């Protein structure tokens, strides 16, 4: 991947501070080690799932589902996968019923994912599905060691896999949480990790992405009170769920009290898909309040060569300029045109991430890039990037209501 910035941030002292802080926290923040992990235990687990299983279901919410969904939906259109993957992540009864209508319970394996082992949404859904299909061999539980969920799984003699230490849910996609369901569906998880490792090594070993990431983080932090809305404008439908993952990562990591003050700070994430959102949200970016930065993401090779037919339509001859144009060229021309329009405004900070093609390595690179960027910005706006007290407060109130 290539990231080109169309704004400048020259404060080398701040950038060096951010880099040193990230290096210092590596031993205690688990996600940094994930690109280098040994995946042989996951591949061994893969062999325990019977060939008759044609569907994998993840029962989990937030960090337990969004990352794997982002990767799956990115590679699914261009790769023949072994199994279908569905996600039960909402207590919406219509959603639950609709998803259940799409699967054959006898040929489905369920992954129940909860770090704490007591997630309300996850276990309300699990209880319902278990009431319909109570075969313990159809379930694998992914949780922290010695959690209540692990004790339950052992009680019913079901499989248990553990989460690595010191990894929050929104940073867990490259751990057991994401790799297990992806591997079971035939996604090349080693290629996924290799892509992440390229970004990690480039950043920590003075490669081409180090300077870019530091400049971008420093700019966002310096201007976080002015440009406090960060938009991803991704020109591919396959990146829709990556945008959803980014919204959780950015919002849950950066919306906090500052560590050394009483101020509330945060950067608001917006996920957009082009060209569709050119006809809606772009108007707000172009002529609305100047409080937004925009990161464009485009794919150079969509692995699909379909073209616009050489057809002339009566009264629409002006559109003959489209004839013979590959769709992948058209969508990238649309991306470039919107970028140029925003650059002409002079006061909207933008940058471009170019992805060579749609595959596991490139989505792995993009994921780790955004995890690093999140950590850097969190350090520079003086927040604890890795906790989520605002989320926990709502959970505590819900549990009290349920007890009452």
Paired tokens of 60: 């989990």
Q: How far apart are CA 55 and CA 122, in angstroms?
A: 19
Q: How confident is the model at residue 9 (pLDDT cuts 50, 70, 90)?
A: confident
Mean pLDDT, residues 149-175 taken together:
93
Paired tokens of 296: 């464009």
> Is-same-fold flag (2-26+191-389; 30-190)?
yes
Give tens-digit pLDDT for 274-320.
999 999 999 999 999 999 999 999 999 998 999 999 999 999 999 99
Q: How far apart are CA 285 and CA 158, in angstroms?
A: 51
Q: How confident is the model at residue 154 (pLDDT cuts 50, 70, 90)?
A: very high
Residue that is written with structure tokens 């990238």 in the block: 332
The catalytic residue positions are 252, 279, 395
How high is the pLDDT of residue 216?
A: 96
Asked whether the predicted pLDDT for residue 118 surpasses 80, the reply is no
Q: Which fold has domain 2-26+191-389?
A: Rossmann fold (3.40.50)
| Greater model confidence, 202 or 393 | 202
Looking at the chain, the whole-number percentage of residues with pLDDT higher than 90 is 87
Q: How far apart are CA 402 and CA 394, in angstroms?
A: 12
* Contact between 238 and 74 (Cβ < 8 Å): yes
Q: Where are the domains of the chain?
A: 2-26+191-389, 30-190
Superfamily of domain 30-190: Glucose-6-phosphate isomerase like protein; domain 1 (3.40.50.10490)
Q: How confident is the model at residue 389 (pLDDT cuts 50, 70, 90)?
A: confident
Residue that is written with structure tokens 């004790």 in the block: 151
């Amino acid at each position: 991947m290539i990231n080109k910035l169309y704004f400048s941030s020259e404060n080398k002292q701040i950038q060096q501070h951010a880099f040193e802080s990230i290096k210092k926290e590596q031993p205690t923040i688990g996600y940094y080690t994930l690109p280098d992990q040994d995946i042989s235990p996951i591949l061994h687990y893969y062999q325990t799932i019977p060939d008759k299983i044609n569907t994998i279901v993840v029962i989990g919410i937030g960090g337990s589902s969004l990352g794997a969904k982002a990767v799956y939906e990115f590679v699914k259109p261009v790769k023949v996968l072994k199994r279908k993957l569905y996600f039960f992540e909402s207590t919406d009864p219509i959603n639950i019923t609709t998803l259940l209508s799409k699967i054959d319970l006898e040929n489905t394996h369920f992954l129940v994912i909860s770090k704490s082992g007591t997630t309300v949404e996850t276990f309300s859904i699990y209880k319902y599905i278990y009431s319909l299909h109570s075969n313990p061999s159809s379930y694998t539980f992914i949780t922290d060691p010695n959690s209540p969920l692990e004790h339950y799984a052992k009680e019913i003699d079901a499989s248990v896999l553990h989460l690595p230490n010191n990894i929050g849910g929104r940073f867990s996609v490259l751990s057991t949480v994401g790799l297990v369901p992806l591997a079971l569906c035939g996604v090349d998880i080693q290629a996924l990790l290799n892509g992440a490792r390229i970004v990690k090594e480039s950043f920590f070993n003075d490669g081409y992405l180090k300077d870019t990431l530091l400049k971008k983080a420093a700019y966002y932090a310096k201007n976080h009170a002015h440009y406090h809305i960060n938009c991803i404008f991704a020109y591919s439908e396959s990146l829709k769920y990556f945008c959803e993952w980014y919204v959780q990562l950015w919002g849950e990591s950066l919306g906090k009290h500052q560590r050394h003050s009483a101020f509330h700070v945060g950067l608001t994430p917006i996920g957009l898909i082009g060209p569709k959102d050119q006809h809606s949200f772009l108007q707000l970016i172009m002529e609305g309040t100047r409080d937004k930065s925009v990161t464009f993401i485009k794919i150079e090779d969509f692995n699909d060569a379909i073209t616009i037919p050489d057809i002339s339509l009566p009264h629409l001859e002006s559109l003959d300029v489209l004839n013979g144009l590959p769709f992948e060229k058209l969508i990238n021309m649309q991306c470039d045109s919107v970028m140029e329009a925003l650059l002409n405004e002079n006061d909207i900070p933008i940058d471009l991430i170019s992805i060579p093609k749609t595959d596991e390595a490139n989505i792995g690179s993009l994921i780790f890039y955004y995890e690093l960027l999140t950590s850097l910005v969190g350090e520079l706006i003086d927040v604890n990037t890795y906790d989520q007290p605002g989320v926990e407060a709502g959970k505590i109130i819900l549990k009290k209501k349920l007890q009452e």
